[in-house]
Structure 1
Amino acid sequence: MESDKIEKLIEKYFEATTTVAEETLLRDYFSQDKVADRLEQYAPMFRYFAKEKEERFTKPVVVPKTGLSGRIWYSWAATAAIVLLLVGVYFNTSSSADTLQDAYTQKEIAAAQEALSLLSVNFSKGAEQVAYLKEFERNTNRFLDNGEK
């Protein structure tokens, strides 16, 4: 009879629905030498929990000071971030100081301008087509809305 009750408590224990009193009952049952054969497999686990519950941490805990040393670290980190930002800005602006004439020939610049001009014309044509599509969609929706009424 008692082993049936213990089995139900073990099921509740593994479902994490036991109370503290029920867990104490389980620990007490498995700390005995006389445990039902079909429950013997759970005995080492509960004995381990009982043994480990008594273990205490005895070493001293060192808490680092966060006063002045923390502020000093924070100020050094902020200074390093500012220096990195300034170095990045310097190298970014110094590399873009070259003019296009220094980097490319006149022939290459003219070819790029022509390609961009063609792209612009075709893009404008595409934008006009989108306007037609929007008008078509609006009229289609108006037609469909009237048909539903």
Structure 2
Amino acid sequence: MDCNNIEELLEKYFQGGTSIAEEQELRKYFSSSNVLPHLEQYKPLFGYFSLVKKEEFEREILPQTKKYNLAWLSIAASVVVLLGIGTYVYLNNNKANQNQDLGTYDDPEVAYRETQKALALLSNHVNVGIESVQYVQEYQNSKNLIFKQ
């Protein structure tokens, strides 16, 4: 084969512009024993393509039963999670019902005294809040005097 023709085909091959017939011609050239020395570096590349072409897929395809078992496993896991949530809600609901009796008094006098204490505490905190508002009002009055709006 002509050296220039092979070099042109190689250039065209690496640019992605060869036809199937030209690629077969390159494979045939590089599989022969009379390859030019400066083109020896491409011989393993085309030899690999010839070797890979002969390989066949030998892996065994597994049946679809795994997905079927996986579906049942996911259903069982969902049931376990739902049972756990249901148990948690049931147990906490009973505890909440037991705690509802807190804060009630059987004796009306004790209830009256506790109510007075709670209202006194509330009144004290409201008075503190009103004092803070009076400071703001005093600031507002001072500002109005200075800027005379």
Task: Give the TM-score normalised by structure 1.
Answer: 0.45
- Larger Cα Rg: Structure 1 or Structure 2? 2
Task: Give the TM-score normalised by structure 2.
Answer: 0.45
